Structure 1
């Protein structure tokens, strides 16, 4: 273990990522799987997780930002790769040169990618996005005929190829929500308009992780697996990770920085929102909101220390928080497990999400750069094979 990982570390099991990809592919056997590795692989490390996903059969990788996609190319990935969050003046030319599928939701983006393709003498790979009801990015249905006609004209010119048509659900993590059927209908209608314009995309896709798990009618040609490949459920309404054969890939832990006796009535951390009920032992965990531990979980965040679940005592500070061990003993350097798969009785990311009033996605993606990522492969004998580390 490197020196920076002795304070705290996020251990990522790449074998869990591979297993999760295989489990998700099995639920959509007729579709290709796109492993979404945006936001540095949801906090897990984009490059190691992308490699693990490819090893498990992911035909596509997906990112939000073009810079994320270009970084994957720089790391050696040569497979199908898509990015979808563009702003005017983005690096269209670099994406075209690297054979990255780029998403277009409006005429301004179509113009920019067409100009970039002409400038570099390459054919751009474009996927058109339709807003079927999420109300975020994507072309409104009223503007869709104009966009598809313009895309077909650029395709005829040879500037681009429309490789895909896609959309995104608003409420797939709420099974049975009435918007789901409405969005599927809108997507079918958008596909018909695109076909009437003369477009023949290779792939059509609308399913994110919850739709992959619960809506086989939404699988089409590609399913986009995001949070699921990291072993976290998209929502309790959809089911637990165990319900779908998924395993959380990240374990967040720290080494206790201090253990001391304190008298009863002793205030703990800022504002003294916690006061010791009697003589006790206080342990200091050297992680705080600067590391991504949510301050909203002050007084409620669960931690496994000295063999028992504890609750954060008082406020979570920028760099540290306290747990009350009561009559139990510990030593500086002993482990504090914030979350993981639960194998050692530790809390999970979902437990922290409940404590903070948020979702599991936010818990793992917010773990900051001060926390080194240590990569292990539990498929290798010994269960602790170090495959890489980042600080």
Structure 2
């Protein structure tokens, strides 16, 4: 082979090598491009699956919270899907990646009135309750005071006089009494108990962060929304939730003696003094050694809605008003005025609750800690938004 032939052969070989390298680089470029497209598609698919599957909203790994928080949600057996939505989204247990020790439900099974329990209370009977309460307030000084200062005007709101709604006004106390009896029996009072409606949503991470700044061994009651219905009395709005600390729950469970001279401390003397005022005509129901929650339970059981024509004291309360009265009157909170969970939860105008301010539905923001009137879809969406917000911060 001549030198000219060898040079031509080497040139051909060198050119073929460059071509191979070029092709490898081109193939690598297309491979990386395809990989990026695949990863983008995978992320979008995962996001769609997350939105569609509530059980993926939080990690299923057990979480260590550091404080025990229970939830009592008040609703109806006709709306059990709302309870289910809560426990699948924000009210998940610590063993399932959530922040809740235990969730309790209040339904018709808690109702004491037979007509409420079996659903036989009629609209006519509900209207009759309103008429009887009108008469009681005109003739009884104690109940007149309660109407004037605690604002029990719900019984004059004709569009809400549905039998099921009326029965639910006692249900909160009855369900709360059941839960607290269980605490008393097993001596497992949580650090905090959160009371909500079955269409309430909470960002539990935010709530737990707030509760970590408080002391559960001190009597502490905080509302999601607190309103003044008069110059003297504060009412919490049930749909926005209410938190009670371990010490407050223990005050409700503590047996109360009958004679002030035998009282163990200043708080018990205060309770006995307030009991003697008999503002809600509750004094005759109290027995020595009875706790406040037992007194509340006896009060709502004393006279049934279907027997309103024979009432002496009746039950003319909205559940929020009744529990607010007990908290303030008997100092379940350390001071007479309950706290609020967030600054925007304070509304001081007399009738502001009737203007929808405390509902936080239409004006519920993306970063709100709690919202009311939430559907299942709302709860799923808000829980996912809360998770994204936490991931962004971290």
Q: TM-score, structure 1 length as denominator?
A: 0.24
**Which protein shows a greater Rg?**
2
Q: TM-score, structure 2 length as denominator?
A: 0.24
